[in-house]
Amino acid sequence: MPHILNRRGEEISPLQGLFYRTLHLLESGIKPVFVFDGQAPALKQPVLARRAEAAAARRGASDPGTAETQWRRLREDCKTLLGYLGVPCVQAPSEAEATCAALAKSGLVWATATEDMDALAFGSPRLLRHLRVTGSGEVEEISLPHVLQRLDMTPEQFVDLCILLGCDYCGKVRGLGPKKALRLLRQHGSIEQLLQHLDPQSWAHFGHGWSSLGGTGCCHVRLLQKHPLPEHWDLAGARRLFLQPTVADVAQVTLEWRDPEPEALVQFLAHEKHMSEVRVRRRLDRWLETQRQEAEEQPEAPACERQPLLGEFFPASKRGHPREGPCTRSSTKRQKEMLAEEP
């Protein structure tokens, strides 16, 4: 994303992008729900530290703490912007993708829209990627049930596969690519059984000892050299974060799309954040005019009138067709409007 600075030298590109993107979704008949990250798990701290250092370097911040402060301020600004647009937000207690998955599994929303594939490991039944304002307009839809069917795996085995290939909570097992990891998991059923096959010494650290392995033949020695486990590899912790994540209580979540507050929005974006007032008003007026036209047309429409499909707004890549594999493309079958998004 290009860096856009206001006249005070403050970066406003994320806020500006959220403004235009949200209006585009609303004009397309989509009702987005934005979910914000909460406290990251302890196992994710090494990854976050590296990201903070990189962000500080990109923005010229003297230390990662400064970048973290800037992102906290930006998060609150995004919530304010969405509030003036009348779009609901959900504050996740921990990982946003985990709460998105919980909302989707409960039926409060139809899909999780994010570029982070962890949403599938958290159990989101449907994932949408590339939901952009610009570009080709092609949305990629991935169905978790179809993925599991084609991979011939249980949800628990799918999580094990994600852990083996590396995730935010632990490093990957060196030398194991997707094909080999999938084959070994299918063959052995779980990481524990796979480790017993690959690395007897590491398996001993999991409490099973050497005696049950029947020795350490040359095959095991070669495998140990080819696939050493990462340092500080917390398998149980990573698996627990995926299968039993800390999420918002969906029973307490109320999703309400309110009427927008145009003047308050202009005051916030143009006068507080110093975005171009002309551009803000022009884009806002176009959206409000679209709303007005739709309101005039709706009263005469019968309740059973066909609603437009999501694929008519964004041509959907087809994913999960049984004949073509877990990552092939499938179209949306019926109108689905509510999406949970991780900003």
Residue-wise pLDDT tens digits, 205-219: 544 433 333 333 444
pLDDT at 105: 98
- Other beta carbons within 10 angstroms of residue 141's beta carbon come to 24
Provide the whole-model pTM. 0.79
- Report which listed range, 102-116, 187-201, 218-232, 292-306, is most confident: 102-116
* Whether 86 contacts 258, CB under 8 Å: yes
pLDDT digits (tens, 9 = 90+) for 25-68: 999 899 999 999 999 999 998 888 887 777 667 666 555 566 67
Q: Where are the domains of the chain?
A: 13-149+247-290+308-341, 155-243
* Whether 166 contacts 192, CB under 8 Å: no
pLDDT at 46: 86
pLDDT at 85: 97
pLDDT at 201: 55
Higher pLDDT, 121 or 229: 121
Q: State the alpha helices, DSSP H only, in the chain.
A: 13-27, 45-59, 64-85, 96-106, 118-121, 144-151, 155-164, 178-188, 191-198, 200-205, 218-226, 235-243, 262-266, 277-297, 310-313
pLDDT digits (tens, 9 = 90+) for 294-325: 888 876 545 555 555 555 545 555 555 434 44
Tell me what the mean pLDDT of segment 229-239 comes to. Answer: 86
Q: Tell me the β-bridge partners of 31.
A: 338
| Residues 277, 274: Cα–Cα separation, whole Å | 8
Helix 191-198 vs helix 155-164: crossing angle, to nearest 10: 40
> Helix, strand or coil for residue 102?
helix
| Residues 287, 275: Cα–Cα separation, whole Å | 18
| Residues 321, 327: Cα–Cα separation, whole Å | 8
pLDDT at 308: 54
* Whether 17 contacts 1, CB under 8 Å: yes
pLDDT digits (tens, 9 = 90+) for 153-202: 999 999 999 999 989 998 888 888 899 999 989 999 999 888 777 655 55
pLDDT at 321: 47
Please provide the size of the chain in residues. 343
| For residue 115, pLDDT beyond 90 | yes
**What Å distances lie between residue 148 and 29, 55, 261, 285, 309, CA to CA?**
31, 36, 44, 45, 26
> Helix, strand or coil for residue 234?
coil
pLDDT at 213: 35
| Residues 261, 178: Cα–Cα separation, whole Å | 49
For the chain, the average pLDDT equals: 81
CATH of segment(s) 13-149+247-290+308-341: 3.40.50
Q: What end-to-end distance do the CA atoms of the chain give, in Å?
A: 14
Give the CATH class of 155-243: mainly alpha
pLDDT digits (tens, 9 = 90+) for 7-36: 666 778 899 999 999 999 999 899 999 999
| For residue 336, pLDDT beyond 80 | no
> Of the ranges 130-134, 143-147, 248-252, which one carries the lowest mean pLDDT score?
130-134
pLDDT at 315: 54
Higher pLDDT, 147 or 132: 147
If we measure between CA atoms, which residue out of 303, 334, 342 comes closest to residue 316? Answer: 334
